[in-house]
Amino acid sequence: MRRLFPVLVRRARALPWLVAVLAVLALFGGAATASAEPAAQSPVAGKTYVIGTDTTFAPFEFQDGSGNQTGIDMDLIRAIAQKQGFTVEIKSLGFDAALQALQSNQVSGVIAGMSITDERRNIFDFSDPYFDSGVQMAVAKGNTDVTGYEQLRGKTVAVKRGSEGETFADSIKGKYGFTVKPLDQSATMYADVKAGNSVAVFDDYPVLAYGISQNNGLKTVTDKEQGSSYGFAVNKGQNPELLAAFNTGLAELKSSGEYQQILDKYLKDPTAATQSGFFGLLTDSFPALMKGLGLTLLATLLSLLVALVLGIVFGFFKVSENVVLRGIATTYVSIFRGTPLLVQAFFFYFGLPQMTGVPMDVLTAGVLTLSLNAGAYMTEIVRGGIQSVDPGQLEASRSLGLSYVTSMRRVVVPQAVKIMTPSFINQFVITLKDTSLLAVIGFAELTYQGQQIYASNFRTGETLLIVAALYFIVITLLTQLSNVLDRKFNK
């Protein structure tokens, strides 16, 4: 017992140290376990979202001289994506087309200087406001007659379709007796005023201020009117995690001061444009225009290859003795010749994905539109070419013992091809020019690139002259080549 007592005493004295060691081990063990657990990640981390925008609404979205998308909205969405760990793919469409793309789920969200209104809240869910806008009126720089709303009576003013400027102009047009003309782009509005077609323009004040700093040829004549706030939009009830990430990232940008830096970059003291000469404009815009021309030729080539196959197949259907085949071909031709190409483009890019739930990229939609449309006209070219051959040729070959198929292949078709070739060349030229209509769905062909250029430098007339010259040169060269091939193979 005496021997056991000292041992117990020593063990009792060591107990506090043992407890302390165990506590330290538990503390570090818990910390190690906690550090081993993965940190909670944002629901959008690692995801890629397609974001629709306008890119003709400087300084919020536009293309710089190198063809890169820039502006307040572009910097904001990229900074927020970086902070929240997701990736954005910007799709430049135009304002109206961007909203339609969102509704048809072609894009996940839209950031395009979009005013938050009650009507839009019925269709879209909006982020927290990221910019408080306002509306101003501007006139041509040399106009001294219009100094306020009172001088607008009996005149026409230009507004951007769907914008806060249009809403404000509509709200006062009855009082001041003017007519409102909605147009699709700010640059188009400014050009309309400079051309004298409209006497004034109503636009968001930062857009007007930036345009004036870039020598758009206008001057403001009224104070800023109170306007709505801009917001990032997603479809109602969809992508709530993306909307939450945008709000979180926006709050972080504001608290860190990065948000104000982005605004100051474009609004505080925008760099005044130095007006280069015509050839300087050509040099600066040449890379973007060549990119657009390449896409124009690609879409034309793919469309014509598909259209040629369709034209041959349905052309023979139309001259077939089978009533069902003739009915199918007639229906196809009637639909695509009887509806505008622009409506077809909107249907295939916006309407069909909304109905089927299957997204379609812009090149596929564009080629599908052009090929089906051109195929309908080529069907009639083939039909007309075959029926232009004297029926006696077919009857003579049949009387010599040749089958119908052989008679068509050896006798009728070779003669029909010579008749059809000029019409095929003409359809080729028409299809190449029709690619310009695909600019409305954001296909970056030649006309689209021209729009992006004059949307940032406001030199509309000169830019369109360059675009027209490129179309003329390419069409002339390709027409000459087609004529040479025609003469060589149809001697």
Per DSSP, the residues of 99-128 read HHHHHTTSSSEE-SS-B--HHHHTTEEE-S
- Residue percentage of the chain with pLDDT more than 70: 89
State the pLDDT confidence band at 282, using cuts at 50, 70 and 90: confident
- Considering the domain architecture, whether residues 282 and 262 belong to the same structural domain is answered as no
**pLDDT value, residue 130:** 95
CATH of the domain at 411: 1.10.3720.10
Structure tokens given for 221: 């004549």
Examine the pLDDT at 15 and tell me if it is beyond 80.
no
- Considering the domain architecture, whether residues 374 and 446 belong to the same structural domain is answered as yes
Examine the pLDDT at 397 and tell me if it is beyond 90.
no
Residue pair 278/462 in contact by the 8 Å Cβ criterion? yes
Residue 17 makes CB contacts below 8 A (sequence gap 6+) with: none
Number of structural domains the chain divides into: 3
In the chain, count H helices and then E strands: 19, 13
Comparing 30-39, 279-288, 395-404, 426-435, the range with the smallest average pLDDT is 30-39
CA-based nearest residue to 145, from 254, 64, 219, 44: 219
Is 13 inside any structural domain?
Answer: no
State the pLDDT confidence band at 25, using cuts at 50, 70 and 90: very low
Tell me the C-alpha to C-alpha distance, in Å, between residue 367 and each of 7, 73, 300, 301, 305. Answer: 93, 31, 8, 9, 10
Distance CA 390, CA 108 (A): 58
**Is 0.85 topped by the overall pTM?**
no
Is 4 inside any structural domain?
Answer: no
Residue 55 makes CB contacts below 8 A (sequence gap 6+) with: 61, 62, 63, 69, 71, 92, 452, 455
- Considering the domain architecture, whether residues 357 and 480 belong to the same structural domain is answered as yes
Distance CA 84, CA 74 (A): 15
Examine the pLDDT at 29 and tell me if it is beyond 50.
no
- Considering the domain architecture, whether residues 106 and 209 belong to the same structural domain is answered as no
Examine the pLDDT at 341 and tell me if it is beyond 60.
yes
- Considering the domain architecture, whether residues 72 and 189 belong to the same structural domain is answered as no
**pLDDT value, residue 273:** 53
Most confident of 49-58, 357-366, 427-436: 427-436
State the pLDDT confidence band at 66, using cuts at 50, 70 and 90: low
pLDDT, tens digit, for every residue of 94-136? Answer: 888 889 899 988 899 999 989 898 889 999 999 999 998 889 9
Tell me the C-alpha to C-alpha distance, in Å, between residue 346 and each of 433, 435, 441, 477. Answer: 18, 13, 7, 31
Q: What is the mean pLDDT of residues 15-23?
A: 43
Q: What is the mean pLDDT of residues 360-368?
A: 91
Q: Which domain holds residue 175?
A: 133-227
Strands 48-53 and 87-92: parallel
State the pLDDT confidence band at 417, using cuts at 50, 70 and 90: confident
Distance CA 251, CA 190 (A): 35
- Considering the domain architecture, whether residues 191 and 264 belong to the same structural domain is answered as no
Is 402 inside any structural domain?
Answer: yes
Examine the pLDDT at 3 and tell me if it is beyond 50.
no
Is 310 inside any structural domain?
Answer: yes
**pLDDT value, residue 373:** 96
Is 2 inside any structural domain?
Answer: no
Residue type, 376: A
- Considering the domain architecture, whether residues 293 and 263 belong to the same structural domain is answered as no
CATH of the domain at 56: 3.40.190.10
- Considering the domain architecture, whether residues 285 and 243 belong to the same structural domain is answered as no
Tell me the C-alpha to C-alpha distance, in Å, between residue 187 and each of 180, 190, 463. Answer: 17, 5, 12
- Within 10 angstroms of residue 292's Cβ, the number of other Cβ atoms is 28
Residue type, 276: S
Dihedral angle over CA of 355, 361, 364, 366, nearest 10: 90
- Considering the domain architecture, whether residues 405 and 477 belong to the same structural domain is answered as yes
pLDDT, tens digit, for every residue of 155-204? Answer: 999 998 878 889 899 999 999 999 999 988 888 888 899 989 999 999 98
State the pLDDT confidence band at 483, using cuts at 50, 70 and 90: confident
Is 22 inside any structural domain?
Answer: no
- Considering the domain architecture, whether residues 180 and 244 belong to the same structural domain is answered as no
Is 289 inside any structural domain?
Answer: yes
- Greater model confidence, 75 or 278: 75
pLDDT, tens digit, for every residue of 31-48? Answer: 434 333 333 467 888 999
Residue pair 211/267 in contact by the 8 Å Cβ criterion? no
The whole-chain average pLDDT of the chain stands at 85
- Considering the domain architecture, whether residues 385 and 246 belong to the same structural domain is answered as no
Greatest alpha-carbon span in the chain: 137
**pLDDT value, residue 336:** 95
- Considering the domain architecture, whether residues 336 and 311 belong to the same structural domain is answered as yes
